[in-house]
Amino acid sequence: MKKVMLIGDSIRLGYQARVTALLKDRATVTGPQDNCRFSAYTLFCLSQWVVEDDVDVIQWNNGQWDVCFMPDGRIHTPLAEYCDLQQRIAGILLQKARRVIFATTTPVWPEHFTSAARNPRRNEDIREYNRAAAEVLSPMGVAINDLHALLAGDVKQYISADMVHLTDAGNDLCAARVAATVAG
């Protein structure tokens, strides 16, 4: 049976059990119980989360926390730092797994930035970070699972009223894509 590991923020936590169920006869799916939050946190915790050296596939995502605006009006993780962190994470994961996949950051409701939301996000930043991550990771041999494009056509169907997390339909759609991608 294939060994699959999923690493990522609360978006991943929303669909991981569904991926596990979809792959129950083909793969063991594991991942941290922890919300892997932002890129620097993920990098810091990799030595605790990824202890085996013979994982078949690891998919990770970081982005929702990285693109948040902080109370000082600045983005949490500047783009150049984000790209550097993704490359560092990828370098470690490529030593641990036969195949490594980066899942792009999912969209938010367009009005999230102008709402009263704490730590608001903008889709234009999410798209820019996804593009930049793909540009630096693809040459390293990291596959890109574009969950953003999967959901962007109907954000209000797939993203819940909190404007960030997935609805049941969004979790189902992402789980099916992730299961197909990691099983392939």
The model's confidence at residue 18, banded by pLDDT at 50, 70 and 90, is very high
* Average pLDDT of span 18-31: 98
Cβ-count burial 80-97 (b if 16+ within 10 Å, e if not):
eebbebbeebbebbeebb
pLDDT at 116: 82
The model's confidence at residue 52, banded by pLDDT at 50, 70 and 90, is confident
Q: What angle do CA 32, 33, 35 make, to 5 degrees?
A: 85
The model's confidence at residue 151, banded by pLDDT at 50, 70 and 90, is very high
pLDDT at 118: 85
Query: How would you classify the pairing of strands 55-60 and 27-30?
Result: unpaired
* Average pLDDT of span 149-168: 98
Cα 146 to Cα 103, 143, 178: the distances in Å are 6, 10, 10
The model's confidence at residue 11, banded by pLDDT at 50, 70 and 90, is very high
Query: Does the pLDDT at position 168 exceed 90?
Result: yes
Query: Does the pLDDT at position 100 exceed 90?
Result: yes
The CATH class of the 2-183 domain is alpha beta
The model's confidence at residue 115, banded by pLDDT at 50, 70 and 90, is confident
Query: Does the pLDDT at position 117 exceed 90?
Result: no
pLDDT at 104: 98
Domain ranges, ordered by start, for the chain: 2-183
In DSSP notation, the chain reads -EEEEEE-SHHHHHHHHHHHHHTTTTEEEE--SS---SHHHHHHHHHHH---S-EEEEEE---TTTTPBPTTSSBSS-HHHHHHHHHHHHHHHHHHEEEEEEEPPPP--GGGTTSS-SS---HHHHHHHHHHHHHHHGGGT-EEE-HHHHHHTTHHHHB-TTSSSB-HHHHHHHHHHHHHHHH-
Dihedral, 122, 126, 128, 129 alpha carbons, nearest 10: 130
Percent of the chain past pLDDT 70, that is, above it, reads 100
* Average pLDDT of span 124-128: 98
pLDDT at 184: 87
* Average pLDDT of span 134-148: 98
